[in-house]
Amino acid sequence: MMTEDFREKFINRIICGDSLTVMRQMPDNCLDLVVTSPPYNLKNSTGNGMKDGRGGKWANAALVNGYSHYNDNMPHDEYAQWQHECLKEMWRLLKADGAIFYNHKWRVQNGLIQDRSDIIRDMPVRQIIIWHRKGGINFNPAYFLPTYEVIYLIAKPDFRLTPKANAYGDVWEFTQEMKNAHPAPFPVALIDRIIKSTNAQIILDPFMGSGTTAIVAMGLDRNYIGIELSPDYCEMANRRIERNKHESELMKFRTPSLFSQSI
């Protein structure tokens, strides 16, 4: 049961802080769903990626300049251990019919395949969804243009999709988000698909960035909890949420029939 204290501190709030520290303050079994994309440790690259902001094959990518308060450059094993601990904590917070949608990217580094199995070890991965990111430009003749990321569905035994959601299949095409000042935002449509595919009422994003998970949850009349380290992105997310609230108020005003349906 949700206590008044939990509701007051966490529900429909963006908490500015370290993800693990904040999750550790939350009670067991308090969430229905986690949707998240952690930092990928992209600056810890030996090759032709984002190393030291020099760009390489991603010279034009927004992430070349990194996140505002996080350098995304841990030794690999430390990074994998940190992300594993974050997943364990998300798991503790989930109810018996809950699930985690954990977005990441596979890569090859120094000839070694990083398929993130060191992060997801011991976790009951039920399915891997391929997110085919449409579009992109590649000027490097040594590589095919990378066009996909993965989403691990890590689910508790009682987790079920909403009726007909299974028909989406396991390869999803969504164009990358362009109209967002955050360097690595989720496409709104991707999060809309995930949340609508579940009956989740309380949804956590422990790496909230610009607040995409929150605004989609709000639009679907679900509750969100966001955690984000960077005060700049917390402000960005809160501004986006306020703008969204304002716009939905205006919509209600403009379409009385819709408004009357909702009361």
Ligand X SMILES: C[S@@+](CC[C@H](N)C(=O)[O-])C[C@H]1O[C@@H](n2cnc3c(N)ncnc32)[C@H](O)[C@@H]1O
Binding ligand X (rule: CB under 6 A), the pick from 43, 58, 95, 209 is 209
Question: Based on CB atoms, which residue is closest to ligand X, 98 or 211?
Answer: 211
Task: State which of residues 12, 230, 238, 244 lies at the interface with ligand X (CB under 6 A).
Answer: 230
Q: Does 182 participate in binding ligand X (rule CB under 6 A)?
A: yes
Interface with ligand X, residue 223, by CB under 6 A: no
3-state helix vs strand vs coil in the chain, percent to 5: 35, 25, 40
CB-based contact 184:156 (threshold 8 Å)? no
Size, binding site for ligand X by CB under 6 A: 20
Question: Whose CA is closest to 85, among 44, 120, 36?
Answer: 120
Does 240 participate in binding ligand X (rule CB under 6 A)? no
DSSP-derived 3-state class of residue 166:
helix
Single out the residue of 10, 152, 207, 224 in contact with ligand X (rule: CB under 6 A): 207
Residue type, 87: L
Q: In this structure, what are the phi and psi dihedrals at residue 174, rounded to the nearest 5 degrees?
A: -140, 130
* Contact map string, positions 129 to 158, toward ligand X, x by CB under 6 A: ------------------------------
Closer of 79 and 159 to ligand X (Cβ): 79
Q: Which 11-50 residues touch ligand X, going by CB under 6 A?
A: 18-19, 37-39
Q: What residues between 79 and 108 interact with ligand X by CB under 6 A?
A: none
What's the rounded Cα separation, in Å, for the pair 46 and 51? 7
> What is the CB neighbour count within 10 angstroms for residue 63?
18
